[in-house]
Structure 1
Amino acid sequence: MYVHNGVIHFLVSSGELELAGKVFDESCVRDLVSWNSLINGYIRSGRAKEAIGLYRKMQEEGVEPDAVTMIGIVSSCAQLEDLKLGRDFHKYIEDHGLNLTIPLSNALMDMYVKCGNLESAQRIFDDMEKKTIVSCTTMIVGYTRLGLLDAARKLFDEMPEKDVVPWNAIIGGCVQAKCSKEAFTLFHEMQDAGIDPDEVTMVSCLSACSQLGALDVGIWIHHYIEKHKLHLNVVLGTALIDMYAKCGNITKALQVFHEMPSRNSLTWTSIIGGLALHGNAHDALSYFSEMVKVGLRPDEVTFLGVLSACSHGGLVEEGRKYFTQMTSKFSLSPQLKHYSCMVDLLGRAGLLDEAEELVKSMAVEPDAVVWGALFFACRMHGNFEMGERAALKLLELDPHDSGIYVLLANMYGDANMWEEAGKVRKMMRERGVEKIPGCSSIEVNGTVYEFIVRDKSHPESEKIYGCLIQLTRQSGFAEFTYGLSELETHGV
């Protein structure tokens, strides 16, 4: 039996699951260790349903599970994000008095976190006499998933010892919550603490660069990866491509793409989206064709890049073709973002009636992005009647969005419909809607600075405004001033 179990364990560890299953099935004697080895092998391979099926078969044969078995089965529920099934197994553990070991408690917490039930995870965590790094990290992930960054940071700071994993959890959580500057601060603290970052850390930091457009920091991270010989796996390589593309260096993104030893569908999707973002429509479509040719299946995000490329390049026929192929060839249902791309594409081309018909025929309820695309197209081509319909739909969806009122008033102004423009401004005042100040950011020497309208918080704000005034004069801003005076003349 010992040798038999050793063979199964060796095959499972080597990734030979089918062969391990064959040895298991052909054996006339099987004990709990045999079952546990195969069940956990399925789980490590991401085959959670097969693991649960094997567990059911084990029960039918009268073999009682132990804590090791339940760790695997609870992990299966986490993979499937099946909260009901996870609760059932938790109840089984309690009803049968199984020893709630630290690894089993951690597995239960992880399951509840991944299934979105933080309260149950918190109860298990609070009841644990001894909390490990894994226990704390699991809760940090749970907090950050729900945007509870303060709670995550409090628990993180209370941990007596930390390796790279909890650092990655808190940094990744900040990036997920779009708090990229905080993520960089934590990254510097991590280095000060003498913790060496790994590939996961680098992926999170590169995502933060993408969010902020911080190219200098991204280049530094790339150099760090090369200097410390971190493994450029598919995930890290894809993050580099995404960073360079979103930070404005598509040439470098393409270089990283071609230097990668292996690529998956996410890598191709990233470069297609990057090319679309930079207006290289034909190149984006060429890479899409190559992706399909090498046998990789595009997903909804890939098609978002493809349709964006068509929109930026004004490729109406190609856009229609790929939009149709989503359903006919790849069995993918268009989502709101795909519809907004198509409406934008048709609208930019002046095909406003077709764009409106597409909105009316949508399988899902149009959102503000879809109606916004139609509205901007109407304003661009001077179709004020259709533009008014789109704007009223936008106001139905979000009556407190100041931008819609301003744009609708401006559209009326473009058409010399000053009375209607005045009504819109009046409606805005009556509803207590105020224009939200704009915010912009710029990276200088690796530091990202943020500014809002009339912001004087920067120590060199006087010089900045002086430069802005000079630029304004040079750019012939008089035309805009004239436009404002026209609005004032008509009482808008």
Structure 2
Amino acid sequence: MNIFNAINLKLIKGPLLNPLRYLLCFLHTRSLSPHKEEPTNWNTTHVFVLQNPVLFLLEQCKSLSQLKQIQSQMTITGLISHGFAPSRLIAFCAISESKNLDYCTKILFNVQNPNSFSWNVAIRGFLETGKMREAVDLYKQMLRNGGTRPDNFTYPLLFKVCASLGLRFLGYEIFGHVLKLGFDVDMYVHNAVIHVFVSCGDLGLACNVFDESCVRNLVSWNSLINGFVRSGFPREAIRLFRDMQLERVEPDEVTMIGMVSACAQLEDLNLGREIHWYISESGLTLTVPLANALMDMYVKCGKLEAAEEIFDSMVNKTVVSCTTMIVGYAKFGFLDIARKIFDDLPEKYVVPWNAIIGGYVQAKRSKEALALFHEMQATGIKPDAVTTVHCLSACSQLGALDDGIWIHRFIEKENFNLNVVLGTALVDMYAKCGNIAKALQVFHEMPERNSLTYTAIIGGLALHGKALDAISYFSEMIGVGLMPDEITFLGILSACCHGGLVDEGRKYFAQMSSIFRLSPKLKHYSCMVDLLGRSGLLEEAEQLIRSMPMAADVVVWGALFFACRLHGNVSIGERAAMKLLELDPQDSGIYVLLANMYRDSNMWEEAGKVRKMMEERGVEKTPGCSSIEVNGLLYEFIVRDKSHPELEQIYDCLVSVN
């Protein structure tokens, strides 16, 4: 006989307790909180369970057929008509390892007057299975049912759904229900309300709920503090922490993770050290998540040694710990150490792959970054949007159009959302790899653009000599209310330079400080000197250099020197060349170009002196280097380099071209 049929039915007939008390028998109230979930406590030693062994068998249930046998026994004995038994049946269908949500709702809809716990546990079952919208639909059914009123355990679950899906307006509606029923004074409901508004980005309303409430605890403070941090308002988070201290609320690990993250966003090393000291002095346990946050803060604040010290002292290093240090070592140029940590990882998820690839891109070692990208695919790790952004940046650096096109096709195949970051990376890649038409196409296909997107297309148009188009997009950018930054002005000044638009260049250069409150940097002065110099306004260009608030570098003097060569102005060219040789006496190119300038002006004696000076200083001419992409592969060529296996065919081709 089946064990489920072998129950002594006499034991089933026992006294029934108040159904409201049973709720506490097998679900801890904190398990319904959106902040902290604990394992379900079925409480199989409860007197009612002991008096009705069929309920105990639910925990042993492994299939739907077995669960139906238990339900049959409940129906035969009349146990199903009492509040506790069907509630426990629904709970097992909703949240046990043998859950079956379809059958859960069938029982729920066929039980007479199911209590609020039955509805709540069913909603929780859908929520924990990821069926968020179905959980909301169940709440609507509960309201339509009319016989059961939601309670203070219902709303934290619903707010968790709204927070997870970003359903801001639904959150407002449910909050209205909470106020109407008077559950806003419940601690868990209050914290869930703050959590949902913070998650949906409505920090103002979250603060109002927080400030006006008479019930708030550490969870309330943590929700608000971490909400400000996640939304990019670290100073407000720090202010809240100070207020929390004044109210003598003791922080915990979650509070300190928020504070450390705020310091990381601000890149405030002194405050970060103060928080670290506070953690040590207050006796808080340096858990792995908190240690990871501290390492991230020190890396972002430029203190790699402090992050390294925490990392080395950690007993249990996680993938997050290692990834943080990979980013840190790569940021400071220690790619070999970063690669060793990466290689030693037992399991490599997409995040550490992104970290190491991004590190190589940041270090301008893009060929190796793309090689890692191909290795990542070979190991079966699926790239995500962050991976593709890094790889598109690598293609931009190399001019690797074929690789960039392949990545674009991969993005389309995987249906990645063409958000601002990914779209801007595509625009930048196509522009820098020579396909400005495709860059413009992607630009116009993007559903949303920001200032970086406009900056990318303006710079690309400038690079391709389309000065008027670049100016048009700059005007459009200002027209839609986006603010240009220093890189945007670098692009627009470069466009003016390529187009020979002197008056426009002067105008935009002046607008940087007069309208947009941006201080021109060396690169902006270099563009202006280049623009003026190409147009033959050499005296104005030299005067601009003299008026600079900072010392001119080799790029600025170089722009003037090349312009002097172009226009044959030896006197200014000499002064520019001497400045260049002061800054970099080992640059062979300056000697050669200066000598050539003298020869062009028939100043043979001066040209000879330059050559002699070059020999006396032991300066040798640096061989030129170029690269080309063929069929997706990059090839580098150096003057007098004979290492390529197809050397003879290459030289034959060059001869035929000449």
The 1-side partners of 2:294 and 2:257 are apart by 8
Residue 286, structure 1, aligned to residue 460, structure 2: no
Which of residues 388, 396, 399 is equivalent to 2:582?
396
Q: Deviations over 1:247-280 (max 9, x none)?
A: 1110000000000000000000100000000000
Aligned partners of 2:358 and 2:390 also within 8 Å: yes
Superposition pairs of residues 27-106 of structure 1, within 5 angstroms: 27-106=213-292
> 1:137 corresponds to which residue?
323
Q: What are the ranges of 5 or more consecutive residues in structure 2 without an aligned counterpart? A: 1-186
Match of 1:430 in 2: 616
Cα distance between partner residues in 2 of 1:66 and 1:182: 43
Q: CA deviation at 1:30?
A: 2.2
Secondary structure class of the residue paired with 1:441: strand
Q: Quick one: percent identity of the two aligned structures?
A: 76
Larger radius of gyration: 2
**2:401 aligned residue:** 215
- Which of these residues, 189, 203, 206, is aligned with residue 17 of structure 1? 203
Q: Does 1:347 align with 2:533?
A: yes
- Correspondences of 1:141-180 after superposition (within 5 Å): 141-180=327-366
Q: Which residue of 2 aligns with 1:126?
A: 312
Pair 1:417 & 2:566 matched: no
Counterpart Cα distance in 1 of 2:321 and 2:360 = 19
For these two proteins, the number of residue pairs brought into alignment is 472
Separation in structure 2 between the aligned mates of residue 419 and residue 403 of structure 1, nearest angstrom: 19
Q: Which residue in the other structure is 1:471 paired with? A: 657
**What is the CA deviation profile of residues 10-47 of structure 1, one whole-angstrom value per residue up to 9, with x for unaligned ones?**
21112111100000011123211111110000000000
The amino acid across from 2:506 in the alignment is R
Alpha-carbon distance in 2 for matches of 1:304, 1:94: 47
**Structure 2: how far apart are the matches of 1:77 and 1:439?**
44
Partners in 1 of 2:320 and 2:606 — Cα distance?
62
Moved more, 169-178 or 400-409: 400-409
**CA distance in structure 1 between the partners assigned to 2:333 and 2:655 by the alignment:** 40
Read off the aligned partner of 1:384 and give its amino acid letter: V
Which deviates more, 4-13 or 368-377?
4-13
Matched residue SS, 1:451: strand
Q: Distance in 1 between the 2:618 and 2:271 partners? A: 48
- Is the deviation greater in 222-231 or in 259-268? 222-231
Do 2:260 and 2:294's aligned partners in 1 also have CA atoms closer than 8 Å?
yes
373, 382, 387: which one aligns with 1:187: 373
Query: In the alignment, is residue 206 of structure 1 matched against residue 380 of structure 2?
Result: no
Residue of structure 2 in register with 1:387 after alignment: 573
- Identify the residue that residue 557 of structure 2 maps to in structure 1: 371
- 2:523 aligned to which of 330, 334, 337: 337
Once residues 212 and 614 of structure 2 are traced to their aligned partners in structure 1, the CA distance between those partners, rounded to angstroms, is 76
- In the alignment, which residue of structure 1 is the partner of 2:77? none
- The corresponding residue for 1:313 is 499
Runs (4+) off by over 3 Å: none
| Superposition TM-score, scaled by structure 2 size | 0.71
Pair 1:439-2:439 in alignment: no
Which of 324, 329, 349 aligns to 2:510? It is 324
Distance in 1 between residues matched to 2:235 and 2:616, nearest whole Å: 57
Give the alignment's Cα RMSD to 1 decimal: 0.9
Q: TM-score, normalized by length of structure 1? A: 0.95
TM-superposed CA distance for 1:63, in Å, is: 1.1
Other-structure match for 2:439 = 253
Task: Render the CA deviation track for 1:300-350: whole Å, top value 9, x for unaligned.
Answer: 100111100100000011111111111111111111111111111111111
Q: Counterparts of 1:131 and 1:322 in 2: how far apart (Å)?
A: 52
**Shift of the alpha carbon at 1:417?**
1.3
> The residue matched to 1:236 in structure 2 has which SS?
helix
* Higher RCO (CA 8 Å, separation ≥ 6 residues): 1
Alignment partners' CA distance in 2, 1:211 and 1:8: 45
Q: Give the equivalent residue in structure 2 for 1:477.
A: none
